[in-house]
Chain A
Amino acid sequence: MQSDIRYDLTITGNGSSSGGVFKNVKIIGDAKIDSDLDCLAFRCSGTTEITGNMKSTSCHIIGEVYLKGHLETGEAKITGIMDIDGNVKTKEMKSNGEIRIRGGLAGEDVNLEGMFAIKGNCEAEILHMKGVFTIDGLLNAGSVELKTHSKCRIKEIGGEKIDVRRGTGSVLKRLLGTFYLPSDFFEGVLHVDTIEGDDIYVEHTSAKVIRGANVVIGPGCRIGHVEYANRFEKTDGSNIGKLTQV
Chain B
Amino acid sequence: MEQELISKKELLELTGISYGQLYRWKRKKLIPEDWFIRKSTFTGQETFFRKQQILDRINKIKELKDDYSLDELADLFLSSNESSAVPSPNPKIALQKEELIKRNIVSEMTLNLYLQQMGDRTVFPYQQILCVYLLETLLKTGELSLDEGKMMLQTFEEHYKKFEGKKCDLIVTRKMGVSSIMLVSSSSEIHFDNGVKIVVRLDVARCIEELNLKLK
Contact = CB atoms under 8 A, between A and B. Distances in A.
B69 to A, nearest CB: 14
A125 B28 CA distance: 10
Interface residues of B: mostly helix, strand, loop or mixed?
Answer: helix
Interface string A194-217: 101110000000001101110000
B45 interface: yes
B18 A159 contact: no
A209 B44 contact: yes
Interface string B42-72: 0111000000000000000000000000000
B9 A211 contact: yes
A161 B13 CA distance: 20
Contacts, number: 50
Interface string A130-145: 0000000000111000
A18 to B, nearest CB: 35
A35 to B, nearest CB: 29
Contacts of B44: 193-194, 208-209, 224
Contacts of B23: 140, 158-160, 196-197
Question: Which of B9, B19, B21, B26 has the largest number of chain A CB atoms within 10 A?
Answer: B19
Interface in A120-174: 123, 125, 140-142, 158-161
B20 interface: yes
A142 B9 CA distance: 19
B9 A197 contact: no
Contact of A246 (B9, B21, B43, B45): B9
Given A158-B23, A196-B23, 15 more contacts: A125-B27, A142-B24, A160-B20, A160-B23, A160-B24, A193-B45, A194-B45, A196-B8, A196-B19, A197-B20, A198-B18, A198-B19, A211-B19, A213-B19, A246-B13
27 contacts: A123-B27, A140-B23, A140-B26, A140-B27, A141-B27, A142-B27, A158-B23, A158-B26, A160-B20, A160-B21, A160-B23, A160-B24, A196-B8, A196-B19, A197-B19, A197-B23, A198-B19, A209-B43, A209-B44, A211-B9, A212-B19, A213-B18, A224-B44, A225-B43, A227-B9, A246-B9, A246-B13
Interface of A: 123, 125, 140-142, 158-161, 193-194, 196-198, 208-209, 211-213, 224-225, 227, 246
